[in-house]
Amino acid sequence: MSSLSEVVVPNIGSKLQPQEALVALFDDFLRLREYSMLLAAPLSEEDCVVQSMPDASPIKWHLAHTTWFFETFVLARFEPQFSAFNSAYRYLFNSYYDAVGERHPRAQRGLLTRPAMSEVRRYRAEVEQRLQAIVLGPDYPAEGVELLQLGMQHEQQHQELMLTDIKHLLSCNPLKPDYLPGTLIGLSVASELCWHQFDASVAEIGYRPAFDGEFCFDNELPLHRQFVEPFAIASRLVSNGEYLRFVEQGGYADPAFWLAAGWDWRCSNNFVHPLYWQSAEEGEWQEFTLHGMQRLDPDAAVLHLSYFEADAYARWVGARLPTEAEWELAARSVSGLRRDWFGVAWQWTSSSYAPYPGYAIAPGAVGEYNGKFMVNQYVLRGASGATPEGHARMSYRNFFPATACWQYSGIRLAQSL
């Protein structure tokens, strides 16, 4: 997060916050923190330590890192006589903030058998208590509110990552464990696919406080215009059943549908179907879910696709992925924040993750939140079933490298008219 001055925060008209607004904000903060612990509750202590791949982090690390964020960017700044809970955590739980200093290598987070989970729980509780004292104490400044809100949005992002990382971890276990019965399965998109058509227009793209809620990240700013050629966009996501035809009719065997880098990625990883699919001997397809192995539901949205797979499928059906401007223009016109646009799968766009015209990175460590990642990644729009309640909005820009497939990422097709 950067450009904190541009972040819209409610009730900031004066230097000091009305006490009731701060009490309500802190209640939200505590509920949000509790949700992180609820996500960890079905897991064993061992589940919380292991790192299944460099891109995924152990649950214990997520719980500590989100706390480190509040300690570093709020407590250290605003608490009189601040002293660190444990000075080693500055190194252990810094994710990527160069301005904060050296950090433990990302790929080795799974080696952190210490501190123990019990110590991380103590860390969380102490930071929450100390935050309460300053946030609800005298003269907590507006800038502190902005940073607290940023930390809350940051923890929500990690809550989604906790679910995607748990899923990946459990999928690596031959026992194919059940994380929680009934979790995140059966998100049906079965309905007739129709195309929403749009004439050429100058679209306003970016965060609009009146429509998009009280908060945005800096990468959603500033609001700007983009010319959009005539296009059509699908009324729903691509389903498992539709994607299965691509799989069974040789989509993964024909380089004609793939970007060159995508074909290299497919071949070197030997992908012949989506990440969590499994072809059974009797010919019944199965899919690993947070509820263990399940029969592949043809009516559910296809999930966990890389950009390369999404792009190849779109070519195979004679369509393409939408640009993010097309996606946002359409979502604002037709979605009404309905499920399918928000709440099933993040939707790959063909737009590179780049700054909007006029984007500015704020000085200091929090300026490293988004801006420095604006290269070699693609934008995903919408939100998934793993996205925490209240975290999605029309202008939200998620981003991942083209190879990432462990996120809840799917396809909404588009075509030029």
Contacts with 232 (C-beta within 8 Å, 6 or more apart), sequence order = 195, 196, 197, 198, 414, 415, 417
CB of 153 to Fe ion, least distance (A): 10
CB of 6 to Fe ion, least distance (A): 20
CB of 57 to Fe ion, least distance (A): 9
Of 187 and 380, nearer to Fe ion (C-beta) is 380
Q: Report the site for Fe ion in 79-118 (rule: CB under 5 A).
A: 95
Q: Whose structure tokens read 């509790």?
A: 34
The Cα 417–Cα 413 span in angstroms is 13
Of 63 and 145, nearer to Fe ion (C-beta) is 63
CB of 95 to Fe ion, least distance (A): 5
Q: Which residues of 73-105 are buried (b: 16+ CB within 10 A; e: fewer)?
A: bbbeebeeeeeebbeebbebbbbebeebeeebe
CB of 369 to Fe ion, least distance (A): 8
Q: Report the site for Fe ion in 281-300 (rule: CB under 5 A).
A: none
Site size toward Fe ion, by CB under 5 A: 1
- Residue 277, classified by CB atoms within 10 Å of its CB into exposed (0-12), middle (13-18) or buried (19+), is buried
> 115 preceded by cis ω (within 30°)?
yes
Residue among 124, 31, 11, 14 at smallest CA distance from 75: 124
**Taking a C-beta distance cutoff of 8 angstroms, is the pair 189, 340 a contact?**
yes
Of 156 and 226, nearer to Fe ion (C-beta) is 156
Of 300 and 404, nearer to Fe ion (C-beta) is 404
CB of 65 to Fe ion, least distance (A): 6
The Cα 77–Cα 64 span in angstroms is 19
Question: 224 pairs with which residues across the strands?
Answer: 205
Of 95 and 370, nearer to Fe ion (C-beta) is 95
For the chain, how long is the longest CA-to-CA vector? 68
Q: Report the site for Fe ion in 195-254 (rule: CB under 5 A).
A: none
CB of 366 to Fe ion, least distance (A): 11
Q: Which residue is nearest to Fe ion (CB)?
A: 95
CB of 154 to Fe ion, least distance (A): 6
Query: Within its chain, how far is the Cα of 165 from the centroid?
Result: 12
Of 100 and 337, nearer to Fe ion (C-beta) is 100
Q: Whose structure tokens read 């902005």?
A: 146
CB of 241 to Fe ion, least distance (A): 36
User: Does residue 323 interact with Fe ion by CB under 5 A?
Assistant: no
Q: Which residues of 205-243 are buried (b: 16+ CB within 10 A; e: fewer)?
A: bbbbeeebbebbbbbbbbeeebebeebbbbbbbbbbbbb
Residue among 310, 395, 304, 401 at smallest CA distance from 344: 304
Of 187 and 216, nearer to Fe ion (C-beta) is 216
Compute how many other C-beta atoms are within 10 angstroms of the C-beta atom of residue 335: 18
Chain residues in the site for Fe ion (CB under 5 A): 95
